[in-house]
Amino acid sequence: MTLPAKTLHPADRMAVLPPYFFHGLNQKIARLKAAGLDVIRMDMGSPDLPPAAFIVEALKTSADAYTHHGYMPFGGTPNYREAWAHFYGQRFGVELDPTTELVGLIGSKEGVFNLALAYVNPGDVVLVPDPGYAPYTVGAQMAGGEVVYMPLLVENHFLPDLRALTPEVLSRTKLMWLNYPNNPTGAVASLEFFAEVIKLARAYHFLVAHDAPYTEIAFDGYRPPSLLQIPGAKEVCVEFNSMSKAYNMGGWRVGVACGNAEAVQALGTLKSNVDSGTFRPILDASAVALTSDQGWLAERNATYRKRRDLVVDALRQVGLEVETPAAAIYVWARLPESVTATDYTEALLEGAGVSVTPGRVFGPSGKGYIRVSLGTPTDRVREAMARVIKWGLKAG
Ligand SMILES: Cc1ncc(COP(=O)(O)O)c(C=O)c1O
């Protein structure tokens, strides 16, 4: 019997996946370093500082227990879920049922991606902030959804213009993504804005997913709110949070989705078919982090603030337009019309050894901007900014 000829090739849906920008950048930087260039990386949003020592101790103690090495319950251990419920109660005054309104995640990235698979039907509209975190778009596309961008523009303080969303689009919308404090713009949203969003979601019956991993990084006394603080929010909202940025635990891969019980449960059911949860010592140490004294975060935020000021100051000196961010770990800056962000970032990397991200990577409205990440040791930030000032606006 002869089998029909066929070739090995990935699924058609893979075609929607763009090449991962940072993968290409990593390769380029490796080549430049091998050639002897001292590169300072301020491109990726990865915190450089460690978690508090008592959190690492809790991990070690839990790992020493003979019985802590097996599979864990789907969606996280009860103590992990309860710790997030405690945190939301203390921090935001939001009451959550840890068994039905909370599900543990392997970092919020997988939850963000998987929510689209659990929630979006082919043809449904998914509203996505532009610029924004890539998995909102990719998850929606993988689920067969139609992505409609909501431009985040400086004149609207980097909030989506809700009045620009037409009834035709809104009536086909299944899911809206929001992210405040925002990556990449560093913008923040008020409770009044959140209340407007919820009104719209109620009127058009769609789910609002608020990706909120930066609520614990803020400056000058500002305290970012949770979307779930709006009365009745749980009827139409799910919020994502994570240990990664809040507690300097990016590599630990642990997060949470909470709020609307149906959305949380759909995500949990999907995940129980995809993954088998997180290692218990990671959950135990996270529970300790969430329920212990949060005082150490003030010093961590003061470090980010110092870096923010160094960056904002330097970028303004060379002629970029910058709003001082009140939260998160990014400075978003607009170049003069005469310089393209791609040319500038490439020239700055190759000529001065400073790596920042061109805004276009985050969506069409990022054109003309750069994003500078603050997750780099302060002395290196100082050195990088001295190089930026010396380099000026050369783009090749
Ligand atoms: C807006 C946003 N959401 C989610 C994530 C992912 O965080 P996690 O480490 O919890 O997967 C990031 C990380 O950069 C982010 O910027």
pLDDT tens digits, one per residue of 200-235 = 999 999 999 999 999 999 999 999 999 999 999 999
Give the CA angle between residues 25, 143, 240 to the nearest 5°.
70
Q: Which residue puts its alpha carbon closest to atom 5 of ligand 1?
A: 109
Q: Ligand 1 centre and the CA of 185: distance in Å?
A: 14
CB atoms within 10 A of CB 299: 10
Q: What pTM, to 2 d.p., does this model score?
A: 0.96
Question: Across the chain, what does the average pLDDT equal?
Answer: 96
Measured from the Cα of 44, ligand 1's closest atom is: 14
Distance, in Å, from the CA atom of 329 to the CA atom of 308, rounded to the nearest integer, reads 8
Q: Which atom of ligand 1 is nearest to the CA of 133?
A: 1
Interacting residues of 53 by C-beta distance below 8 A, sequence separation 6+: none
Does residue 160 have a cis bond before it (omega within 30 degrees)? no
**Integer angstrom CA distances of residue 291 from 88, 96, 154, 209, 247:** 10, 15, 37, 25, 12
Confidence of residue 1 (pLDDT cuts 50, 70, 90): low
Pocket test for ligand 1, best of 103, 114, 183, 243 (most atoms within 8 A of CB): 183
7 C-alpha vs ligand 1 centroid, how far in Å? 37
- For residue range 305-358, what is the model confidence (pLDDT) as tens digits? 999 999 999 999 999 999 999 999 999 999 999 999 999 999 999 999 999 999
> Which residues sit with their C-beta closer than 6 Å to ligand 1?
45, 107-109, 112, 133, 179, 183, 211, 213, 242, 244, 250, 255
**Interval 118-126 mean pLDDT:** 97
Question: Which whole number is the average pLDDT over 97-122?
Answer: 97
